[in-house]
Amino acid sequence: MSSGPYFAGNSFSMVDAVMAPIFRCFDILDFDFEPTHHVFDGLKRVANWRLALALRPSIQAAVTPDYAILFREQLREKDALLATV
């Protein structure tokens, strides 16, 4: 991982495109705010990378504004373990 803002430096790459939806799930489920989930503790470069991806217009436009609500609803409907987070 480079010094950023993206995985390979200043250029958005396939790694960024693959990781953005995964990071979005962590953001929707508020893992950073749960006291039992410290997945990204001590990973400042990863945190900065997540933020850079979240702020990128193409990443924001990749989902509808109600995506987070629909995502959580689907987890609840499927009785997913993550629905309790």
Considering the chain, what percentage of its residues have pLDDT values greater than 90? Answer: 55
pLDDT at 81: 81
Q: How confident is the model at residue 31 (pLDDT cuts 50, 70, 90)?
A: low
Q: Is the pLDDT of residue 13 over 90?
A: yes
pTM value > 0.95: no
Distance CA 57, CA 61 (A): 6
The residue with greater pLDDT, 39 or 23, is: 23
Nearest to 39 by CA among 49, 30, 28: 30
